[in-house]
Amino acid sequence: MTFEHDELVAAWGEPQTSRVVDRLHRFAFIPNELLEKLAETALPENWGRNNHVLKKYLAVQVAWSIEQTQYTEGDGQFYVTAGHLQTRYGTPIYLAFARNRNPDREPFYLVSVEANMSAPRLPVPPEIPTPNAIPRGVEIVMMHDHILDDNSDRVPFFAETPRVAQMCAVSGAIQWPLNRNLHLPYWYLGQISYVVPLHLSSREDITLAPDLIAPIQVNPGSLLVRTVLKPVMPFGNARVAVQRHDQLPHWLLQAWKEHAINATEDEIENPESVRSA
């Protein structure tokens, strides 16, 4: 029994969604014991409560494998890599899926997680999409109501600062790290874009966490700044966009280490929708 590419792609549903873990669970049943096995087999990482960052990672990376036809099949199963995850010895980790025989459930289910997968031919990891290059010298456009009103508690040092001065400060804080290539790849709504660290109070040690993070959207002739986030909030989306977690900056890994136990699933799924308290 073969697995048609159109069938697999259609089973994933709409790609333009921030709720990718829900999308993964609609595609396939993922037994919790196999998710735990994957976390234990791979190089140690902090995947947050209930391994939710790992679920998000799989939801994006496995979808890329299907979309890019980076899967193999045989023995009534299809095989993908677990994204770019590897064992402590550098061996890729593979996932095997089969059709779900229960017509009232997900169309597929995860059968096994193995570094030594028995398959007629093993797949290769998907390619992480390359974001659009950031043009230099273009206008920085800010959704200032969302940045400076809806989430004003994230920028308390602006409380007594005039609105135009606030916007100029954020704009300048965005340009400074861009000139030094400090921006990070960041998955959002089916695409890879960037987040930029904003050092508003000090630039003496840029290995330390910045004051804020700004997701930016690259448009022709402009950069759109949708919101500002606390430094740890984009971890899940940033982890999806790199092959290994050590490719993320030290300050982000440290901030996540301290915050992971408190991170909610909503924050991990879509940090830009989380409203300040």
Domain segments of the chain as ranges: 5-114, 139-273
CA nearest neighbour of 147 among 136, 155, 157, 139: 155
Segment 157-181 mean pLDDT:
77
Torsion over CA of 55, 80, 33 and 86, rounded to 10 degrees? -80
DSSP state of 158: G
**Per-residue pLDDT, 19:** 87
Question: Please, which residues have CB within 8 angstroms of residue 8's CB and are 6 or more apart in sequence?
Answer: 66, 71, 78
**Per-residue pLDDT, 277:** 46
Give residue-wise pLDDT tens across range 205-234.
Answer: 778 888 889 899 898 889 988 888 888 888
Phi, psi values for residue 99, rounded to 5°: -70, 140
Please name the amino acid found at residue 51: N
Question: Of 9-13, 81-85, 136-140, which one has max mean pLDDT?
Answer: 81-85
Examine the pLDDT at 152 and tell me if it is beyond 80. Answer: no
User: Considering the chain, what percentage of its residues have pLDDT values greater than 70?
Assistant: 91
Between residues 79 and 120, which one has the greater pLDDT?
79
Segment 86-110 mean pLDDT:
93
Handedness of CA 82, 84, 87, 93 (dihedral sign): positive
Average pLDDT, the chain: 88
Phi, psi values for residue 82, rounded to 5°: -80, 65
The enclosing H or E element of 92 equals: strand 92-99
Contact 79, 73 (CB under 8 A): yes
